[in-house]
A and B are shown apart, each in its own frame.
Chain A
């Protein structure tokens, strides 16, 4: 099988190597993948609950942003949010490149793209911290602030966990935990990071563009 894999290119080579594993791993890999996708779906439900609460609060408010103490609360800063969003979306692309390079057995490029992903993830978190410091509203002062800090805080926590997760994956990958045919952890890490990106698409639209 290994000789046959050598003659293939691109997706065919990756698919052949991916299936050239022991049957026990193949079976548990599919189960793990299903379990991980279910975990992502459960996280979708969690975010959807808070998003619908925010939408309800917003559409039922007589005026938005609400008035507190006779003053209308400010809109959020769209330009900085757009920049910070691109930092996060860019990290999704670099993570995708990292996994592709691992599949094609290019460990050096895998490491570079994975480090780029971690750096961009940290950059997004720093941008979020900056936004919190200048946003001009508080968590407890209004439904707008409560929704904003709850949803973006929960998302930021997911990004933080993702950064920790990717750092652990980087150490594991360089200690030989994963091979060219056994890399479920890396696949799960990539799916998780893409999920975090996509949740931010929804939050970016709801808080900054709607």
Chain B
């Protein structure tokens, strides 16, 4: 199979798993209080956004020019 297809397939599957897990953790930690919890929530949210970017890249919606 094409190497690019394997990379994109793995990125797509990984983005879904990691993104959903990050959002689920964010939801679980929503009630937690304190500076560390606040920073963690912000960083988890941004990481979930990163998963969306990786997902869009994997399906050629973003960054399609490269390959």
Contacts and interface: CB of A to CB of B under 8 A. Distances in A.
A191 interface: yes
Contacts of A75: 65-66
Contacts, number: 125
B67 A77 contact: yes
A34 B53 contact: no
Contacts of B53: 85, 201, 204-205, 209
A187 interface: yes
Majority SS at the chain A contact face: helix
B58 A198 contact: no
Interface stretch (A46-54, A87-95, A155-163, A169-177): A87-95
User: Chain B: interface residue count, which band?
Assistant: 35 or more
Given A78-B64, A82-B8, A96 B44 contact: yes
A37 interface: yes
B61 to A, nearest CB: 10
Nearest to B14: A86
A79 to B, nearest CB: 4
A29 B44 CA distance: 22
A79 B57 contact: yes
A147 interface: no
Nearest to A91: B18
Contact of A37 (B4, B39, B44, B67): B39
Contact of A93 (B18, B46, B58, B63): B18
Contacts of A205: 53
A195 B39 CA distance: 9
B54 A93 contact: no
Given A90-B18, A204-B54, A205-B53, A191 B40 contact: yes
A80 B43 CA distance: 24
A33 B62 contact: no
A191 B22 contact: no
B25 A201 contact: no
Contacts of A86: 10-11, 14-15, 18, 51, 54
Given A194-B44, A198-B50, A79 B14 contact: no
Given A93-B22, A208-B57, 9 more contacts: A11-B32, A79-B58, A83-B11, A89-B15, A96-B40, A197-B50, A198-B43, A209-B53, A209-B57
